[in-house]
């Protein structure tokens, strides 16, 4: 289709357009009369040339644009920074331009147009050619969608991707510089030819390419030898293996779209070709590598890492990421195994690695080391190093045994606590039994006297005997309540649920209980519920004026505070520590002593920090690693 010839007029010589040599005039004509708005942009962003379509789209004339305006003046403010990034990427990747960029074009009357921009670098210059497409959906200017050879060749010749176009008769109307370099076929030898001439440089034969299959079904496309078929609207892309000249086979990806005229009828098609051989070779190499290590990964129940000869970690599996706390990108190729081993264990690790090098195929034993997580927290683990045959790489298997070690330590501490509890209980029982025996003896002596005279004394003695008996009963109750300490390893407990279960055992009466610890779990001995029972029970029975008890949490960098506050009379300053030391303060001392001992099994501590006369405040300090959150906090 030929462009309409304007009515011949006598042209005035423009001072802006210099006199052209005869050979330059056809190219200036292509630039001026192309159907798409096009400008030439200098290095400093100034527009040095603007064609007629750009003048129509912007609303400015040539004199107002050329040498006076920058391209940024035609871009909506919100799009300027993103468009600059697009251009920067274009400069860095000269051979692989990003996809066309969509932005809002602003004309002289401040009207907005949705536009698509394609940028080409003019060879041997620092100038760029900006080609715009108005995609607002409005009817384009007259002849904007006209499809003719000169316009198509002029627009796509400098596009970095290998690109060609055909008309609706299948004749080549554009064959750009990049496809000339890729195939060795010059445009002058191919332009104007049909009968699948464009396929010969790729297949040494005349056959359909993707540009011919944009209206075909997937089955027809596959029958033509294509794979990886993808559709994006009317745009079709797929891959195929070809032979270019005498070079080895190459894998190319073809992307083609139809071109329609202003009436919506097909006017031709355009196709871009990318050599993806290197990418596919990398994918194949990766699959081979994955297959090589699959046996190791699938047959190990522990965390796996691959270390190079210089100790650099080149691969780690998800379980290793989970244990260490780093993501793969932070470690692979950047960190060494020794960076994750506790300093005190480095020398032992070096000895172990030396043994593995001397006898790489000897029997491997698990070695226990302490390793460092991303947050600096030390964990215990079994480490095994095994060489990979025929390489200088080694497989590191890591098993986290921290919880197991913690359980063993807690059990040992629990046994120690039990011995202490048994001693305390026996001692207290013996003391009270001594009192009982003493008063019984006194009672016997008094009974021998006239009964009426000594009845008050007898009643007093009997009261004391009863009190001592009650104390013995309470102590026996304690031995029952705490007989399970340490029998089973510590576990994770839902804090809110545990406090509420403890509160259910107390007659609160008019006391209000507030539990604000949702989503928190602590690692403690299995009788931890008794600790919260004593806190609530003591506040209720001995607080004097208690009307409110509140539990809540505060997290610091290294610990979690579980706080129990009330509005009781509080704890006297001189009793804040003695309440935990088996000194009976209003009959609550043994309760608090046992509570502290129970929590210390898993390194949890407790102290009283309230103000006497205003209320009690118990701070339960849970160390890092002994608490966790099960929901956002």
CATH of the domain at 561: 3.30.565.10
10 Å Cβ neighbour count for 475? 19
Looking at the structure, do residues 500 and 606 belong to the same domain, yes or no? yes
Looking at the domain assignment, is residue 3 inside a domain?
no
Distance CA 418, CA 421 (A): 5
Q: Which residues contact 157 (CB under 8 A, 6 or more apart)?
A: 174, 176, 177
Considering the entire predicted model, what is its pTM? 0.37
Domain stop point among 109, 144, 179: 144
CATH of the domain at 445: 1.10.287
Looking at the structure, do residues 125 and 42 belong to the same domain, yes or no? yes
Q: How many residues does the chain have?
A: 633
Looking at the structure, do residues 624 and 531 belong to the same domain, yes or no? yes
Torsion of CA 29, 32, 35, 37, to 10 degrees: 150
Domain that holds residue 464: 405-481
Looking at the structure, do residues 351 and 368 belong to the same domain, yes or no? yes
Query: What crossing angle do the helices spanning 451-481 and 402-447 adopt, rounded to 10°?
Result: 170
Question: Higher confidence at residue 180 or residue 418?
Answer: 180
Write the pLDDT tens digit of every residue in 313-352. Answer: 988 887 888 888 888 888 888 888 888 888 888 888 888 8
Bridge partners (DSSP) listed for residue 41: 47, 128
CATH of the domain at 368: 3.30.450.20
Looking at the structure, do residues 207 and 320 belong to the same domain, yes or no? no
Q: Are 334 and 305 in contact (CB under 8 A)?
A: no
Domain stop point among 367, 400, 433: 400
Looking at the structure, do residues 624 and 553 belong to the same domain, yes or no? yes
Looking at the structure, do residues 139 and 160 belong to the same domain, yes or no? no
Question: H-type helices in 325-450, by residue range?
Answer: 328-331, 346-358, 402-447
Tally the domains of the chain. Answer: 5
Looking at the structure, do residues 171 and 267 belong to the same domain, yes or no? yes
pLDDT at 443 over 90: no
pLDDT at 209 over 80: yes
Q: What is the average per-residue pLDDT within 112-141? A: 74
Looking at the domain assignment, is residue 17 inside a domain?
no
Q: Are strands 38-41 and 128-134 parallel, antiparallel or unpaired?
A: antiparallel
Write the pLDDT tens digit of every residue in 228-279. Answer: 999 988 899 999 998 776 677 889 999 999 988 777 788 889 999 998 888 8
Looking at the domain assignment, is residue 59 inside a domain?
yes
Looking at the domain assignment, is residue 19 inside a domain?
no
Tokens 């940024």 belong to: 72
Q: What is the largest CA-CA distance in the chain?
A: 153
Q: Are 368 and 381 in contact (CB under 8 A)?
A: yes
Give backbone dihedrals phi and psi of 320, rounded to 5 degrees, phi first.
-65, -40
Q: Are 597 and 481 in contact (CB under 8 A)?
A: no
What local confidence, expressed as pLDDT, does residue 604 receive? 92
Looking at the structure, do residues 538 and 469 belong to the same domain, yes or no? no
Element (H, E) at 314: strand 313-316
Looking at the structure, do residues 171 and 84 belong to the same domain, yes or no? no
Q: How confident is the model at residue 499 (pLDDT cuts 50, 70, 90)?
A: very high
pLDDT at 130 over 80: yes
Give backbone dihedrals phi and psi of 557, rounded to 5 degrees, phi first.
-65, -35
Domain stop point among 400, 432, 459: 400
Write the pLDDT tens digit of every residue in 387-442. Answer: 877 788 888 878 777 777 777 777 777 777 776 776 677 667 767 767 776 776 67
What local confidence, expressed as pLDDT, does residue 225 receive? 92
Looking at the structure, do residues 545 and 608 belong to the same domain, yes or no? yes
- Which region among 79-93, 443-457, 499-513 has the lowest average model confidence (pLDDT)? 443-457
10 Å Cβ neighbour count for 225? 14
DSSP 70: B
Looking at the structure, do residues 214 and 320 belong to the same domain, yes or no? no
- CA atoms lying within 13 Å on the CB side of residue 558: 2
Q: Are 238 and 230 in contact (CB under 8 A)?
A: yes
Residues of the chain above pLDDT 90, percent: 24
Looking at the domain assignment, is residue 567 inside a domain?
yes
Q: Compute the mean pLDDT over every residue in the chain, rounded to the nearest whole number.
A: 79
pLDDT at 615 over 90: yes
What local confidence, expressed as pLDDT, does residue 424 receive? 74
Distance CA 42, CA 125 (A): 9
Q: Which residues contact 176 (CB under 8 A, 6 or more apart)?
A: 153, 156, 157, 158, 159, 162, 163, 164, 187
Q: How confident is the model at residue 578 (pLDDT cuts 50, 70, 90)?
A: confident
Rg value, the chain, Cα: 43
């Amino acid at each position: 289709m030929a462009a309409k010839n304007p009515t011949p007029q006598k042209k005035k010589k423009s001072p802006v357009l210099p006199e052209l040599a005869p050979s330059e005039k056809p190219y200036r004509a292509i630039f001026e009369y192309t159907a798409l708005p096009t400008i030439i942009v200098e290095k400093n962003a100034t527009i040095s040339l603007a064609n007629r379509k750009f003048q129509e789209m912007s609303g400015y004339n040539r004199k107002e644009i050329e040498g006076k305006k920058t391209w940024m003046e035609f871009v909506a403010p919100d799009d300027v920074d993103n468009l600059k990034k697009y251009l920067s990427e274009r400069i860095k990747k000269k051979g692989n331009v990003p996809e066309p960029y969509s932005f809002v074009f602003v004309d002289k009357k401040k009207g907005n147009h949705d536009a698509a921009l394609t940028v080409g670098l003019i060879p041997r210059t620092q100038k760029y050619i900006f080609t715009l497409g108005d995609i607002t959906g409005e009817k384009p200017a007259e002849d904007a969608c006209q499809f003719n050879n000169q316009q198509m060749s002029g627009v796509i010749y400098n596009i970095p991707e290998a690109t060609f176009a055909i008309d609706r008769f299948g004749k080549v109307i554009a064959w750009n510089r990049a496809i000339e370099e890729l195939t060795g076929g010059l445009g002058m030898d191919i332009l104007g030819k049909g009968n699948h001439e464009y396929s010969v440089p790729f297949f040494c034969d005349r056959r359909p390419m993707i540009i011919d299959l944009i209206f075909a079904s997937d089955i027809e496309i596959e029958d033509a030898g294509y794979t990886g078929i993808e559709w994006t609207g009317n745009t079709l892309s797929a891959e195929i293996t070809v032979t270019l000249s005498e070079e080895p086979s190459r894998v190319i990806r073809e992307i083609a779209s139809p071109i329609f005229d202003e009436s919506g009828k097909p006017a031709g098609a355009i196709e871009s070709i990318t050599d993806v051989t290197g990418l596919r070779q990398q994918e194949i190499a990766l699959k081979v590598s994955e297959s090589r290590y699959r046996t190791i990964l699938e047959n190990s129940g522990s965390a796996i890492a691959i270390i190079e000869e210089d100790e650099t970690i080149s691969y780690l599996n998800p379980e290793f990421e989970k244990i260490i706390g780093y993501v793969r990108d932070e470690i692979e190729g950047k960190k060494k195994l020794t960076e994750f081993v506790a300093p005190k264990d480095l020398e032992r690790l070096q000895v172990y690695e030396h043994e593995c090098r001397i006898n790489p195929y000897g029997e491997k034993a698990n070695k226990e080391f302490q390793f460092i997580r991303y947050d600096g927290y030390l964990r215990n683990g079994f480490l095994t190093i095994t060489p990979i045959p025929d390489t200088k790489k080694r497989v590191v298997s890591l098993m986290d045994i921290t919880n197991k070690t913690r359980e063993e330590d807690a059990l040992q501490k629990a046994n120690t606590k039990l011995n202490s509890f048994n001693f305390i209980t026996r001692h207290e029982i013996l003391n009270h039994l001594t009192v009982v025996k003493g008063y019984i003896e006194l009672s016997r002596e008094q009974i021998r006297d006239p009964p009426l005279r000594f009845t008050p004394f007898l009643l007093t003695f009997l009261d004391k005997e009863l009190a001592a008996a009650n104390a013995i009963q309470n102590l026996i109750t304690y031995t029952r309540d705490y007989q399970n300490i340490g029998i089973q390893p510590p576990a994770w407990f839902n804090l809110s649920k545990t406090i509420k279960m403890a509160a259910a055992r107390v007659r609160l009466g008019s006391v209000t209980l507030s539990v604000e610890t949702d989503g928190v779990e602590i690692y403690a001995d299995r009788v931890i519920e008794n600790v919260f029972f004593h806190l609530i029970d003591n506040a209720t029975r001995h607080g004097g004026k208690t009307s409110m008890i509140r539990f809540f949490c505060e997290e610091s960098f290294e610990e979690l505070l579980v706080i129990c506050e009330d509005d009781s009379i509080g704890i006297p300053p001189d009793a804040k520590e003695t309440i935990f030391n088996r000194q009976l303060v209003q009959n609550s001392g043994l309760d608090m002593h046992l509570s502290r001992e129970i929590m210390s099994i898993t390194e949890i501590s407790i102290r009283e920090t309230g103000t006497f006369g205003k209320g009690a405040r118990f701070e339960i300090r849970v160390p890092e690693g002994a608490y966790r959150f099960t929901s956002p906090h």
